[in-house]
């Protein structure tokens, strides 16, 4: 297990208790879209989790990536959809990393009031952020944003948007820019279609039209190197995908262990069959390895270490691939019962798949690891 501080361990215990007592009873209803996510958002605000990564001087907890991962892991153990709502902290992290003092003073209070979403992917742009077609054209003291975004988590009910767009920097040169859009002040964001997904059903994932949205020039985050700033933000946020995978996989493994002790076949608990017990032993081993790697990556980001990007990509790819294997094998341990909605494992298996795809596909993560490895060892 990672070596947490007393404060981090206390946060872990609170998160585990809240997850099991208040979130787990609504997990299935979230998957069936019976529960309004706003109920969870209200709970998270009450607990201070929606402002977890906001600096203390702006009213937040001043927590880092490690603390965000701790909460994400415990919540994902009962519901990936519920854990995904904590992604609001990504917008807090972006403002904390890239915002000026003036922007922080303006944006943090709005983020505390309303739910936010991040808009990068497009119909023709996924892992390659440089190919986005949404544009930000400067007109005097404003930028005008036009385009279309896809796979926007919470895009159907967010009021705050952070948008990745191309900017004409003059002389025909375009660059990536990051923009903060307050829907209350800048109309033109329109959710046009909600995706019907195989998993993560408690999350509204929408296609959003960006139609002539006018924002002040002062709402551009960061400087002129938007691509590098985007990478820095993703490095700070991506470990939570690994933490979610660890939490869900661990819950699936524990459920399968208990079930195979209770279920008897051929006169003995199913767990006593070596094929089953060894499968579960491998699950437990892989989960521990993923957990250690995840928190090593989070700690490297928190201290600004030189291997942050490399470890983050390793953790994300390893943990989410592991979660897909573990949830699939956990279903197998239950036999036909694992395929039934009576048990939570089929939901976990469906939810696990998205981890290998979003926040940068695992194929892209391995490409990143290879480049950073070459740079570190060869130069």
Cβ neighbours of residue 19 under 8 Å, at least 6 residues apart?
Answer: 74, 75, 77, 78, 82
Number of residues written out for the chain: 379
Phi, psi at 127, each rounded to 5°: -65, -30
Please give the Cα distance from 46 to 281 (Å, whole number): 38
Is residue 238 a contact partner of residue 94, using CB atoms and an 8 Å limit?
no
Q: Is 310 a catalytic residue?
A: no
Is residue 235 a contact partner of residue 312, using CB atoms and an 8 Å limit?
yes
Q: How far is CA 191 from the centre of its chain?
A: 21
Please give the Cα distance from 355 to 351 (Å, whole number): 8
Out of 13, 292, 359, 367, pick the active-site residue.
359
Please give the Cα distance from 349 to 331 (Å, whole number): 8
By C-alpha distance, which of 29, 184, 203, 26 is closest to 109?
184
Long-range contacts of 97-102 (CB under 8 A, 24+ apart): 97/229, 97/232, 97/233, 97/236, 98/178, 98/221, 98/222, 98/229, 98/232, 98/233, 99/221, 102/218
Phi, psi at 128, each rounded to 5°: -90, 90
Q: How far is CA 179 from the centre of its chain?
A: 19
Long-range contacts of 53-57 (CB under 8 A, 24+ apart): 53/89, 53/92, 53/93, 53/96, 54/92, 54/96, 54/108, 54/111, 54/112, 55/96, 55/104
Annotated catalytic residues are 359
């Amino acid at each position: 297990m990672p070596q947490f501080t007393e404060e981090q361990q206390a946060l872990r215990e609170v998160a585990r208790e809240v997850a099991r007592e208040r979130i787990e009873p609504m997990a299935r209803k979230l998957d069936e879209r019976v529960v309004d996510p706003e109920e969870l958002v209200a709970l998270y605000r009450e607990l201070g989790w929606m402002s977890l990564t906001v600096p203390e001087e702006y009213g937040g907890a001043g927590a880092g990536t490690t603390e965000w991962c701790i909460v994400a892991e415990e919540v994902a153990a009962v519901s990936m959809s519920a854990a995904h709502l904590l992604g609001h902290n990504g917008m807090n992290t972006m403002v904390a990393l890239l915002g000026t003092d003036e922007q922080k003073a303006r944006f943090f209070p709005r983020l505390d009031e309303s739910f936010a979403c991040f808009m990068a992917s497009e119909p023709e742009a996924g892992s390659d952020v440089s190919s986005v077609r949404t544009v930000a054209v400067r007109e005097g003291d404003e930028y005008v944003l036009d385009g279309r975004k896809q796979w926007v988590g919470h895009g159907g009910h967010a009021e705050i948007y952070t948008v990745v767009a191309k900017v004409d920097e003059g002389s025909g040169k375009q660059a990536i820019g990051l923009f903060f859009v307050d829907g209350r002040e800048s109309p033109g964001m329109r959710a046009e279609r909600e995706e019907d997904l195989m998993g993560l059903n408690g999350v509204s994932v929408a296609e959003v039209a960006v139609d002539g949205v006018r924002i002040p020039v002062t709402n551009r985050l960061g400087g002129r190197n938007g691509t590098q700033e985007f990478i820095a933000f993703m490095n700070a946020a991506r470990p939570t995908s690994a933490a979610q995978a660890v939490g869900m996989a661990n819950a699936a493994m524990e459920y399968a262990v208990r079930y195979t002790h209770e279920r008897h076949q051929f006169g003995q608990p199913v767990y006593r069959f070596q094929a089953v017990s060894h499968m579960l032993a491998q699950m437990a081993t892989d989960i521990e390895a993923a957990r250690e790697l995840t928190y090593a990556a989070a700690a490297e980001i928190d201290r600004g270490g030189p291997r942050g990007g490399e470890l983050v990509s390793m953790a994300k790819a390893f943990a989410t691939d592991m979660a897909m294997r573990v949830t699939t094998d956990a279903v197998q341990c239950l036999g036909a019962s694992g395929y039934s909605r009576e048990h939570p494992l089929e939901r976990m298996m469906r939810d696990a798949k998205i981890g290998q795809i979003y926040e940068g596909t695992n194929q892209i993560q391995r490409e990143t690891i290879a480049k950073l490895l070459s740079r570190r060892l060869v130069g």
